[in-house]
Amino acid sequence: MSDDMGSVLTQRRRLLAAMAVGSVSLPGSAWAQGSTSSGTWPAKPIRIVVAYPPGGLTDAYARLYAEQLTAQLGVPAFVDNKPGAGAIIGIDLVAKAPPDGYTLLMTTTGTVWQNRVLYTKLPYNLDRDLTPVANFPSGPLVVGVPDKLPVRTMQEFIAYARKQPVSMGSYSPGSYPHMVADQLNRQHGTQIQTVHYKGESPMWMDLVGGQTQIAIGSYQAYAAVQGRGLRALGVTGAYRSPKLPDVPTLVQQGLDPRLVGLEGGLPLMAPAGTPEPILQALSKVAVEGAQTQRAAQLRETFAIPNKPVNLEETRAEWNRVVPIWIKLAVDLGIKLD
């Protein structure tokens, strides 16, 4: 290919990318260092930092979204897994990145909702340093136990865990299962010790091996090992899993709905100060990407019936539910440092 032809193709790709986002263009004063002199975004690869290892729902959503960014904006987008320290490593990296639309975060709601009260000190301020772009729903989470355990309902498990110590797998400190375990201990006198893993895959494998007695996580990760000797006791949230219609919710089994009746998710976030047109463009990719066959297949695999909403609705949901999750964390009194 000649240099001239390569230049023409490059210009064409940039033109298509600009059209895809409505020609997002910002005044020079709005740009952080590293932006193009023309002020047109995007002009270089977009990095999505995932605060968990490969595998699991968070990573799957991030990789799909990276594909959608590449297809719709015309620049490469890639996932960079930065697990560790209860997601603090990955979050810190993005919180301190330039607010220019080239570094994004994908994590779980607990790490950016409850962690502001679960930790006394964090290297960033979750109220000031990050801003939401979209919240990818997680759907009902599955509560699983080894099928050798002599329990078939959540109430039977509670009775079992009152008599002897048991351990619950969690995919990070301050996560949904961590809070559920603490709530069960306080309300029902159970003796559940939470064991934290770097992601879902090792958590479920230890449940299969009998190192733990109960775990809560995504349907797909549970289904991947279900045939190796696991049983679903229930699901979280306000409705049954489309993949497990005969398994009742924890609320239907009589548990306190203030926590187990809620649905978290996988937030996509950007550094605070990212220009509004860029946030709108990133949100638009998430909303339009949710209509594709690939996205529908992912939701089918993970048993997720709902889709991400636009930026305005995301912010409204954020303002409504974050105080609820924070109050729950405060009431439980969990401290992680």
> For residue 247, what are the CA distances in angstroms to 8, 217, 300, 301, 336?
57, 15, 17, 17, 32
pLDDT value of position 117: 86
> For residue 295, what are the CA distances in angstroms to 106, 282, 292, 304, 309?
16, 16, 5, 10, 14
In angstroms, the CA 251 to CA 223 distance is 22
pLDDT value of position 39: 67
Asked if 309 contacts 240 with a C-beta cutoff of 8 angstroms, the reply is no
CA 134 to chain centre: 10
Structure tokens at 212: 């733990």
Q: Which of 235, 271, 263, 241 is nearest to 324 (CA)?
A: 263
pLDDT value of position 37: 36
Which residues make beta-bridge pairs with 53?
Answer: none
**Close Cβ partners of 331 (under 8 Å, ≥ 6 residues apart):** none
**Residue ranges of domains in the chain:** 18-138+264-332, 142-260
Q: Is the pTM of this model over 0.85?
A: no
Q: Which of 237, 310, 317, 302 is nearest to 64 (CA)?
A: 302
Domain pair 18-138+264-332 / 142-260, same fold: yes
| Topology annotation, domain 18-138+264-332 | D-Maltodextrin-Binding Protein; domain 2 (3.40.190)
Given 3.40.50.1820, 3.40.190.10, 3.40.50.170, 3.40.50.720, which CATH number is that of 142-260?
3.40.190.10
Q: Helices H, strands E: what count in the chain?
A: 13, 10
**DSSP state for residue 144 in the 8-state scheme:** E
Q: Please give the span between the terminal C-alpha atoms of the chain, in angstroms, as a whole number.
A: 58
10-residue mean pLDDT profile of the chain (337 residues): values are 41 38 37 45 97 89 97 97 92 98 95 88 94 95 96 97 96 86 94 91 94 94 94 95 96 92 92 98 97 94 92 95 89 77
Instruction: Read off the amino acid at residue 55.
Output: G
Structure tokens at 221: 């990760």
Instruction: Read off the amino acid at residue 335.
Output: K
Q: Which of 169, 167, 162 is nearest to 187 (CA)?
A: 162
pLDDT value of position 264: 83
Please give the backbone phi and psi of residue 268, each rounded to the nearest 5 degrees, phi first.
-100, 125
